[in-house]
Amino acid sequence: MKNILLVFLIMFFAVNSVNNTVFASTDSATGEIRKGYLGTLPDVTQRFDKQRSELAKPAFDSVPTFRDKNDLKPVPRDNPAYIDLIVKKQKISPYTTDINDAIPLVESIIEAINYKLNIQKFVARVNAFNDWMTYFKQKYKDSPESYYISFQKLVEVDFQSHYVATVKYESQMYNPYLPYSGDGALYSPKSIEIQEQALLKELEKTVVILKEVN
């Protein structure tokens, strides 16, 4: 019985040894000696798939050093260098610059009428506008700009505002001595109110025209 068991053990180890050893044989057709491996190769596919999946992952999920969009500085649109050099803003003509100076002067007279400022303040604002108009008319009287509607409208309200200011000033001086009839009717409160309202409409039209100049 022991001999039979021993024989079985020897046969088992012999077969197992043959299945995991290198073999060599001769090809009957070519006479080549063929070599190979008799046995079971280890399964490496699982490990290879794991390595391949690891290599396929991105090297990083995000770049923490990249600046947030809220940290970026806005375009310097208020910077004159940006406006002139980058945007190539069209240069404003001298005439347009003067018109821009005239607008607040005209608006100041409109304000004096609307808020019923006293005669002294009204006359002071009209005088400031009339003085500026002396420079303006002298500068453009012989130039093409003198034919512009904006120029002609300014000349008109220059005369009209001077006239109303004169009447209001004289009314304060002569009212105690003139009746509101005949020549004195010109200085009556009602007459002055009518003239002021007529001037106001012309001033407002002028501002609209001036703001369209470019």
pLDDT tens, residue by residue, 163-204: 999 999 988 887 666 666 665 677 888 889 999 999 999 999
Taking the domains of the chain in order of start, what are their residue ranges?
A: 1-38, 94-211
Residue 40, classed as helix, strand or coil, is coil
The two three-digit tokens of residue 117, written as one number: 């400022």
Structural contact between residues 108 and 129, judged by C-beta atoms closer than 8 angstroms:
yes
Helix (H) or strand (E) holding 91: none
Does the predicted model carry a pTM greater than 0.85?
no
pLDDT of residue 156: 97
Q: Give CA–CA dist 57/54, Å, rounded.
A: 6
pLDDT, tens only, 85-122: 444 445 679 999 999 999 999 999 999 999 999 999 99
Six token digits for residue 202:
């012309």
Q: What dihedral do alpha carbons 176, 179, 185, 189 form, nearest 10°?
A: 40
